[in-house]
Copies of this chain bind each other. A is one copy, B any other.
Amino acid sequence: VIRLTRRYRFAASHRLHQPVFSEEENRRIYGKCNNPFGHGHNYVLSVTVAGVPDPVSGRVADPKALDRFIEKNVIRAFDHRNLNIEAEEFAGGGAPPTTECLALAIRDRLLRDWSLAFPEGAPRLDRISLEETPNNKFELRCP
């Protein structure tokens, strides 16, 4: 089994605020990220797929198909967006768009349509990681 990891980038804004918490709790839990006017980040998404290389083509995955899939299902939804208002996962309430929740949303989007894009079960989605800053990264195994 070989694991292929490809990196993608998108820029978005967000505000961390949980209406269930008091103002004081929001400030204590989210600190500067609770600023009512929002702020933003350059996110770096790494998508790892796993599979056995095809003995004839020598490839474990079609990189162009993977790029199209990520573009369609992730980049288009989140790049140059306000996550609180424009991302359906966060616009309706629930937990705020922490990078943890954004990583979970990305994983769910990838798993939802994976079998349509890669119908023969190859490659398998193995894990994703999402960097909010160079010093802050979240990893999630799939599924």
- Name A residues whose Cβ lies closer than 8 Å to a Cβ of B: 1-9, 11-14, 16, 18, 20-21, 29, 31-33, 35, 37-42, 48, 53-60, 62-64, 79-82, 85-86, 95-98, 100-101, 103-104, 133-141
For A40, list chain B residues within 8 Å (CB): 11-14, 38-41
Not counting A7-B135, A11-B39, A18-B56, a sample of 18 additional A-B residue pairs whose C-beta atoms are within 8 angstroms of each other reads: A1-B140, A2-B103, A2-B138, A2-B139, A2-B140, A4-B139, A5-B138, A6-B136, A8-B135, A11-B41, A13-B39, A14-B40, A33-B80, A38-B82, A39-B82, A40-B40, A53-B95, A60-B100
Give bound CA distance, A11 to B135, whole Å. 13
